A and B are shown apart, each in its own frame.
Chain A
Amino acid sequence: MTFTKFNIRAAVLLGSLMLAASPALAEAVLHRGNSGEPQTLDQSQTSIDIEAFILKDLYEGLTIYDAKGKIVPGVAESWTVSDDGLVYTFKLRDNAKWSDGSPVVAEDFIFSMQREEDPKTAAGYANILYPIKNAEAINKGKLPVDQLGMKAVNDKTLEITLERPTPFFIELLSHQSALPVNKASFEKNGADFVKPGKLVGNGAFKLVEHVPNDHLTVVKNENYWDAANVKLDKVIFYPLEDQAAGLRRYEAGELDLVYNFSSDQIKRLRDANPKQVHVTPAAATYYYPFDTRTEPFNDVRVRQALSMSVDRDFLAKDIYDGTKIPVYSLVPPGFENYGEPSKADFAGMSQLDREDKAVELMKAAGYGEGGKPLNIEIRYNTNPNHQKVATAVADMWKKTFGANVTLMNLDISSHYAYLQEGGKFNVARAGWTADYADAENFLNLNVSTNKTFNYGHYENAEFDALMKKSYEERDPAARSKILHEAEALIMRDQPIAPLMNDANLWLVADKVKGWGDNANNEHLSKYLSVE
């Protein structure tokens, strides 16, 4: 009897010791810094990467990005495209389920995308899905929502018909606004379907808690089709609006990941922990559009001269401590289907040669020293880094051309409202981040019919025609060639001066495994683990 007792006790003791010692049984929690508070968790309202990181953990689209930023099947395990490139047929996974256990069916995607295009929803990113047949007309209130070109052949087969061939359609489907909405939850809870306890997702994680401006907690979704491969039990997102505060919390060991810290810290951080600092070129371009409607910026020589006299190496290295890369093209490098972008002809010259050439061009145009006075106003949105860039550029233009450069800054809303509403200017700051991994996303900014985005109102019929042709071309290589020709025109005419390629800055603690740097800045928590 006593012997048995002893045995039980020993077994309990041994068992508890093993429990405590075995790391596999401890909860795997990732403390993930986010660069701010999500403004919404509603697929139709989302617009920023802060939300994308969370939404893509909570929901899974037809296609997703892997840890290396490559498009891979998500809910759709496979798909076929018709010969004319207009009909996509997706085969959905049999085991794709919502977090409440119900199956994910073709109808779910139809409901979500109809909702996205419904003008009453007022979705900020409705245009992402405009390639779908009738989407644009529905969004503009000209057709009822049931006319959207989507059909459920059966529960697990979804057919999408497009308005026109769209070579990057598969990329579009991975955007966070194309994530499915759970119809039952939405109909029951209305706008509150995004709240913890009500949110029903189909992603690797499910929402359990959200304290605005403090943290947002998601836990592993056991109903997720790939749950067996999800290593984390819990991910806590921390909104870090104050970059310095985020950095301090990381250094105190409270966070495992930090996104977008202040670039002036990079030297110090690299010296301390080189392996933890990840700088990845982003699919984003920092550029200065010229107002091609106003003199002297309507003269291509003036634009070329101004653009080529900007020492981009100085901006990237001295102002941004090497966290940006000098660029001479509008499309950022790194798009798989585009390759090396078409660069401006001065890209291969040394800065000194560029300056000589710039002075020549400016003289030919009749401005600057010895010619008509060159008055330039640089407009930018209030931000210490943008101010430094504008100051440096102003100095370069003063030195090279004897220009009289003034600076003018407005807060971000006023700045962009002015440009988007067609306000006249000389030179302005602008930035563009890819919504999908395709060059079209950037080149489209300069089409003459694009009144909102084409700040400088650049008009070039040849360029417009090339862009139009690119939409109709189905062969990827031929299409890429057309887009390169189009970009070459932009780089020749310089309606915009591309300055730098943004980089995404991440701090990744040593204990985080499975991290992959990629230009699309896609980092689903399902690929990550902590040791």
Chain B
Amino acid sequence: MFHFVLRRLASAVPTLFIVVTISFFLMRFAPGGPFNLERPLPPATMENLMRAYHLDQPLWNQYIQYLKNAVTGDFGPSYIYKDNTIAELIGKGLPYSIQLGTYALLFALIGGVTIGTLAALRQNSFIDFLVMSVATTGVTVPNFVVGPIMTLIFALMLAWVPAGGWGDGSLKFLILPVITLGLPQLAVFARLTRGSMIEALHADHIRTARAYGLPAQVVVVTHAMRGALLPVVSYLAPCAAALLTGSAVVESIFTIPGVGRYFVLGAINRDYTLVMGTVVLVAIFVIVFNLVVDILYGLLDPRVRHD
């Protein structure tokens, strides 16, 4: 197991290198640069800026310099948010995004698996139809519609919760953004769980367990659930990526100071270093989550072993 983790982490290095290289050059193909603004800069100023940020050097030099610095954890200064380095920007924003993402993931996972199981146990009943209709709605209605509508109802009309901001990070500030971010994922988890649970309930070993006269709860939770959760677990990695990118919209709707906004802002503003920083962040995130999923698979499915 330990060797497996080590091997996977080692293979992450070349992956990251390729990701960094491709994004570095792709970014530079886009016309314009970080200092081409609506309010144009005089040529002398532009020259001074290009020199100060070493953008006047050949691209290859810049690339090698970037790699050298990145290895030591220095991702450079932001060209747009000039008072901060990329490490500072991401360091300050990431805790908010991680909290928001974690709560949304838990909300989606627990909520989705619970209602998916309920629907499977009462297949084709009223509850089943209700759950599946809600789930379909959750997937199809985008978060930039759900968020503002919930804010209008719960913050403006009922005044139960604030309309935005992080505040002190307490439940009242978090509840709307967590639901908005988690809802589409909850719907996916519910559908996945329902499908695999129905299948699991018809499996031979479940019939055997039932025949032995085991209590229904034990049959469902201990035996059926284990197999039914496999598709759910494999969806965790794409789900985490979706939460990360979804946070760009949700953070902006609820004015939360996370890193989501940087994905979009960096690219639009040609903030080269910020784009690279976010790309590396997402890459690390996906690599780590895939590893977690593989480990969970080993624990849940006796046929998968990481020796």
Residues of chain A whose beta carbon lies under 8 Å from any beta carbon of chain B: 37, 39-42, 45, 47-48, 119-127, 136, 139-140, 191, 194-195, 211-215, 238-242, 244-246, 248-249, 251-252, 254, 381, 410-420, 431, 433, 451-453
Given contacts A119-B48, A211-B257, contact A245 B252 (CB under 8 A): yes
Residues of B within 8 A of A120 (CB): 48, 52
Nearest-CB residue, chain A, relative to B89: A212
State the CA gap A212–B92 with chains docked (Å).
8
Q: CA of A215 to CA of B168 in the docked complex: distance in angstroms? A: 12
**Do B41 and A124 touch across chains, with their CB atoms under 8 A apart?**
yes
Taking a contact as CB atoms under 8 Å apart, the answer to whether B40 and A251 are in contact is no
Is the beta-carbon distance between A139 and B48 smaller than 8 angstroms?
Answer: yes
Kindly list the 9 A-B residue pairs having the minimum CB-CB distance in the complex, ordered from nearest.
A417-B32, A413-B32, A214-B257, A122-B52, A213-B257, A252-B163, A417-B36, A122-B48, A40-B82
Known A211-B166, A212-B257, A252-B156; further 20 A-B contacts with Cβ < 8 A: A39-B81, A124-B45, A139-B48, A212-B84, A213-B93, A213-B257, A213-B261, A241-B252, A242-B252, A248-B156, A248-B163, A411-B268, A412-B37, A413-B34, A413-B37, A416-B36, A417-B31, A419-B40, A420-B36, A452-B41
Contacts of B44 in A (CB 8 A): 126-127, 136, 139-140
Q: Does B270 sit within 8 A of A, measured CB to CB?
A: yes
What CA separation (Å) do A451 and B80 show in the bound complex?
25
CB <8 Å contact, B156 and A452: no
Known contacts A139-B48, A414-B32: A249-B165 contact under CB 8 Å: yes
Q: Shortest distance in angstroms between A454's beta carbon and chain B's nearest beta carbon?
A: 10
Known contacts A119-B48, A431-B38; A412/B31 CB under 8 A: no
CB <8 Å contact, A238 and B89: no
State whether A194 touches B268 (Cβ < 8 A): no
Q: Which of B71-96 contact A (CB under 8 A)?
A: 80-84, 89, 92-93
Residues of B within 8 A of A47 (CB): 37, 39
Interface assignment of B221: CB less than 8 Å from any CB of chain A: no
Q: Which residues of B contact A119 (CB under 8 A)?
A: 48, 51
Q: Measured between C-beta atoms, what is the minimum distance from A499 to chain B in Å? A: 15
> By the criterion CB–CB under 8 Å, are A37 and B165 in contact?
no
Q: Find residues 51-83 in chain B having any chain A CB closer than 8 Å to their own CB.
A: 51-53, 80-83
Chain B residues closer than 8 Å to A242, beta-carbon distance: 252-253, 255
Which residues from A are CB-within-8-Å of B163? 245, 248-249, 251-252, 254
CB distance from A255 to the nearest CB of B (A): 9
Total interface residues on B, CB under 8 Å, equals 52
Partner of A214, one of B48, B51, B165: B165
Q: Are A238 and B255 in contact (CB under 8 A)?
A: yes
What CA separation (Å) do A431 and B37 show in the bound complex?
Answer: 11
Contact of B218 with A by CB under 8 A? no
Contact of A241 among B34, B37, B261 (CB under 8 A): B261
**Least Cβ distance of B94 to chain A in Å?**
12
Which chain A positions have C-beta within 8 A of B151?
Answer: 248
Residues of B within 8 A of A418 (CB): 31-32
Give the CA-CA distance A83 to B92 in the complex, in Å. Answer: 54
Query: With a CB–CB cut-off of 8 A, which chain A residues contact B155?
Result: 248, 252
Partner of B30, one of A244, A252, A414: A414
**B152 near A: Cβ within 8 Å?**
yes
Alpha-carbon distance A214/B165, docked complex (angstroms)? 7
Q: Which residues of A sit under 8 angstroms from B38, Cβ to Cβ?
A: 381, 412, 416, 431
Given A124-B41, A127-B45: A414 touches B31 (CB 8 Å cut-off):
yes
Q: Are A40 and B83 in contact (CB under 8 A)?
A: yes
A127 touching B162, Cβ below 8 Å: no
Residue B148 at the chain A interface, CB threshold 8 Å: yes
CB distance from B198 to the nearest CB of A (A): 41
Write the chain A residue with the least CB distance to B159.
A252
In the complex, which residue of chain A has the Cβ closest to the Cβ of B79?
A39
In the complex, how many angstroms separate the beta carbon of A118 from the nearest chain B beta carbon?
A: 9
Q: In the complex, A470→B126 CA distance in Å?
A: 82
Mask of B266-301 contacts with A, CB within 8 angstroms, 1/0:
001110000000000000000000000000000000
* 5 A-B pairs in the complex with CB atoms less than 8 angstroms apart: A48-B39, A139-B44, A239-B255, A413-B270, A415-B32
Q: Is the CB of B36 within 8 A of A212?
A: no
CA–CA, A156 and B6, complex, Å: 67
Residues 136-166 (chain B) with a chain A CB within 8 angstroms: 148, 151-152, 155-156, 159, 162-166
Q: Give bound CA distance, A37 to B93, whole Å.
A: 13
Complex Cα distance A417/B152, Å? 40
Q: Given A39-B82, A452-B40, answer yes or no on A251-B156 (Cβ-Cβ < 8 Å).
A: yes
B43 within 8 A of A: yes
CB distance from A132 to the nearest CB of B (A): 15
Cα(A252)–Cα(B173), bound, Å: 13
CB < 8 Å: which of A126, A215, A244, A413 contacts B33? A413
Known contacts A40-B83, A414-B32; A245/B255 CB under 8 A? yes
Question: Nearest chain A CB to B205's CB is how many angstroms away?
Answer: 51
B42 on interface, CB distance cutoff 8 Å? yes
B254 at the interface (CB under 8 A from A): yes
Are A254 and B165 touching (Cβ within 8 A)? yes
A248–B153 Cα gap in the complex (Å)? 11
Chain B residue numbers with a CB within 8 Å of A238 are 165, 255
Least Cβ–Cβ distance between B48 and chain A, in angstroms: 4
Q: Is the CB of A45 within 8 A of B92?
A: no
B40 and A453 contacting across the interface, CB-CB below 8 Å? yes
From A240, A417, A418, A431, name the one whose CB has the most chain B CB atoms within 10 angstroms.
A417
How many Å lie between the Cα of A222 and that of B253 in the bound state?
37
Q: Return chain B residues, CB-CB under 8 Å to A40.
A: 81-83
